[in-house]
């Protein structure tokens, strides 16, 4: 799901579950590499994408200075942060562990 400023609160901050948010940019090679990893996880977890070039206020709000930056939210709060390419097994294990401890 592609997020903009207007739907970020509803889709991420107001969601009582776990949400993985990918802050990315079209020009970013590592971001493109993460697409296959995120596509693999989409069947298991809610994943939202925020383009930092078209959503600068969101990128600034969450202090995104490196792309890709992946944030796991639980009950609207950041519980895990990754910067750069992150393996699917790491993301899967962390999101699953966070979801279990709710």
Share of residues in the chain with pLDDT > 70 (%): 97
Q: What is the mean pLDDT of residues 65-84?
A: 96
Query: 28, 79, 88, 99: which one is catalytic?
Result: 28
Determine whether 48 is an active site residue: no
Q: How far apart are the first and last CA of the chain?
A: 23
Alpha carbon distance 40, 37 (integer Å): 5
Res 100: pLDDT: 63
In the chain, where are the structural domains located? 5-100
Residue 36: both structure tokens together: 């296959």
Which of 19, 21, 31, 50 is an active site residue? Answer: 31
Using pLDDT thresholds of 50, 70 and 90, give the confidence band for residue 40: confident
What's the distance, CA 48 to chain centroid? 6
CA distance 69 to 83: 4
**Per-residue pLDDT at 56 exceeds 60:** yes
Mean pLDDT, rounded, for 23-47: 93
Fold classification of 5-100 (topology level)? Glutaredoxin (3.40.30)
pTM as predicted:
0.93
Percent of the chain clearing pLDDT 90 (strictly above)? 75
Does 2 have pLDDT greater than 60?
yes
What is d(CA 56, CA 90) in angstroms, rounded to the nearest whole number? 27
């Amino acid at each position: 799901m592609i997020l903009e400023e207007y739907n970020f609160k509803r889709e991420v901050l107001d969601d009582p579950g776990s949400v993985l948010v990918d802050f990315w940019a079209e020009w970013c090679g590592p971001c493109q590499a993460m697409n296959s990893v995120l596509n693999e996880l989409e069947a298991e977890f809610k994943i939202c994408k925020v383009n930092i070039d078209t959503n600068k206020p969101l990128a600034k709000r969450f202090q995104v200075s490196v792309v890709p930056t992946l944030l796991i939210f639980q009950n609207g709060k950041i519980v895990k942060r990754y910067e750069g390419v992150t393996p699917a097994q790491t993301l899967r294990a962390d999101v699953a562990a966070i979801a279990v401890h709710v």
